[in-house]
Amino acid sequence: MFQDRLQALLVPALQNAFKQAFDHELDGRSIGFQQTRPEFEGDVTINVFPFLKISGKGPEQTAQTIGEHLVSSLEVVTRFNVVKGFLNIVISDAYWLGFLKEAGSKDILALPSTGKKLMVEYASPNTNKPLHLGHLRNIFLGWSVSRILEAAGNEVIKVQVINDRGIHICKSMLAWQKFGHGETPSSSGLKGDKLVGKYYVVFDKAYKQEIDGLIASGKSKEEAEKEAPLLLEAQEMLRKWEANDPEVRALWEKMNGWVYDGFNATYARIGVTFDKNYYESQTYVLGKEDVLKGKERGVFYEKDGAVWVDNTAEGLDEKVLLRRDGTSVYMTQDIGTAIKRFEEFPGLSKLIYTVGNEQDYHFKVLFIILKKLGFAWADELFHLSYGMVDLPSGKMKSREGTVVDADDLIQEVVDAARAVTTELGKLDDFTDEEKTVLFEMIGLAALKYYLLKVDPKKRMLFDPAASIDLQGHTGPFIQYTYARIRSLLRKAELNGAIETGAITTLIPEEKAVIKLLHQFPGVLNEAASKLDPSSVANHTYELVKTYNSFYQSVPVLKEEDGSKRSFRLEMSAGVASAVKKAMWCLGIEVPERM
């Protein structure tokens, strides 16, 4: 994708070409620019097939006519070639050199302000278990999208919904009450979220034992599941919670407090924050009045004492919004929470929900309902749907205790980073504290990058060993290249003043690097538009891979020509700056030494 800077030169020239050659006023928005394929000479390719009716000529002749006009009218276009109906344009070295000089004085990934205020929701954990691998993909995706949107000139509000009520919460509470013997995070040495998660598993095991016993006594499986004493006790605890029973509420607040402490410790380690937390215990009452008002207006209808919405005209189905007893469903509170957010944050122009693709249908229904209720902003709601993360061991199940714990996984990649980096033997001048910081930085980069480099819509397999490869398509490889450049720049300073001068031509290795730098603002804009960090991740990898190829084949500090040496150092600094900002967009830190 091309930066507006180059398009601003090419579009008027193309419009002039169509006016002079074909007597046609061309709409600049109809011109599509592409990167020239590597097997052909060129930097920019234009597909002329859409313009054949305008030219009245064949594709090759049309492309030839346009190309000749561009060469004669634009200094930045030095030559061209035609491959069937595709016009490949070669941009002058002077243009690329001018771009690099301009880029050296500013952050090329800091785009102009859009004046828009956006909200991104991510994380949304339950307080009956610790964060796991699935949460990490969600969190890193939401955090990265937030930063990309911010870099693209938007004001971003980061929020999470904490699911802190319901039968699943009561199951952990009841199990701790019956089997915990007063165990606490401090007495057990466990993080609070892990301790509470432990009792969610304890409940499930005890519940299954009761079911087996009831079945052995003659009950059917369905009867046993409904009549197991533990489940009945959990349901009674939920009723007491809803009735504000002081003892149940006190237990709930204590155990949730443990979980929040645990969550916050994990968030702090991975460098993630939120501007506002929403708690389901507070939001589950929202939406009921909005649904009743919708019924009065005829948007919804009543059937068998319940309130329904009919979405069959939209190709969906009918859905209950209020039960016969007047209680809400999840959809109802999501309706109310969305309305509350737009009331709390005036000027909010877009709300993005980072939620797995198993909830695709839910959000289709939610957005349709809010549109039916007449909210203009309903068209600006977006479900950032993503695929699940698989592991070689198979599917994860929380209640059976087979989930890959987030903290354990983070520690695993940090330990792997320690082993791989230590094996290289380049840390002799690092203090123990500096080593610890470096291992943490590399391990988190491995984990975050591996989860973000894949298109969010795709299901993926996470491989901890592959994520840490210092020579592969990984975060640590990008970090290593950044550290290499920073070391190069420090050596250049130690070697004293560098002769400055001007160069007028580029070798292919230099031009390849500058072109990738030039594309970065467009890549960032596209990532912000599509809410897809993978494009930033993969472009950063292509940049560092191309730079490494340049570095291996072209002398920098050993270059005898002072002008060339100075230019290559300037280009290297530009790469380092772009890589640092791109990795910031992914929530990844880069080390000065490695």
Domain ranges for the chain, please list them. 4-91, 167-278, 406-585
Q: Which two tokens stand for residue 487?
A: 């070391």
* pLDDT value, residue 441: 98
pLDDT bucket at 400, cuts 50 / 70 / 90: very low
> Over pLDDT 90: what percentage of the chain?
87
Give me the CATH code for the 4-91 domain, please. 3.30.1360.70
- The yes-or-no verdict on residue 277 having pLDDT over 90 is yes
Which residue reads 């877009």 in tokens? 350
* pLDDT value, residue 402: 54
Per-residue pLDDT tens over the stretch 58-78: 999 999 999 999 999 999 999
* pLDDT value, residue 401: 46
CA distances from 556 to 16, 296, 508, 563, 594 (A): 42, 74, 15, 11, 20
- The yes-or-no verdict on residue 244 having pLDDT over 50 is yes
Q: Taking the alpha carbons of 85, 86, 90, 96 in that order, is the dihedral positive or negative?
A: positive
**Contact (Cβ atoms closer than 8 angstroms) between residue 133 and residue 462:** yes
pLDDT bucket at 398, cuts 50 / 70 / 90: very low
Mean pLDDT score, 586-592: 98
* pLDDT value, residue 497: 47
**Contact (Cβ atoms closer than 8 angstroms) between residue 162 and residue 279:** yes
CATH architecture of 406-585: Orthogonal Bundle (1.10)
* pLDDT value, residue 496: 56
Long-range CB contacts (< 8 A, 24+ apart) of 316-324?
316/361, 316/364, 316/365, 316/368, 319/365, 321/287, 321/291, 321/369, 322/288, 322/291, 322/292
- The yes-or-no verdict on residue 2 having pLDDT over 80 is no
* pLDDT value, residue 409: 92
Q: Which two tokens stand for residue 34?
A: 């592409």
* pLDDT value, residue 502: 77
* pLDDT value, residue 306: 96
Mean pLDDT score, 545-566: 94
> Over pLDDT 70: what percentage of the chain?
96
* pLDDT value, residue 396: 41
Instruction: Measure the CA–CA gap between 55 and 113, rounded to whole angstroms.
Output: 39
* pLDDT value, residue 105: 65
pLDDT bucket at 371, cuts 50 / 70 / 90: very high
* pLDDT value, residue 501: 59
Mean pLDDT score, 303-331: 95
Mean pLDDT computed over every residue of the chain: 93
**Contact (Cβ atoms closer than 8 angstroms) between residue 594 and residue 438:** yes
Per-residue pLDDT tens over the stretch 403-418: 689 999 999 999 999 9
Fold equal for 4-91 and 406-585? no
pLDDT bucket at 107, cuts 50 / 70 / 90: confident
Mean pLDDT score, 130-158: 97
Q: Taking the alpha carbons of 126, 131, 133, 137 in that order, is the dihedral positive or negative?
A: positive
Mean pLDDT score, 554-565: 91
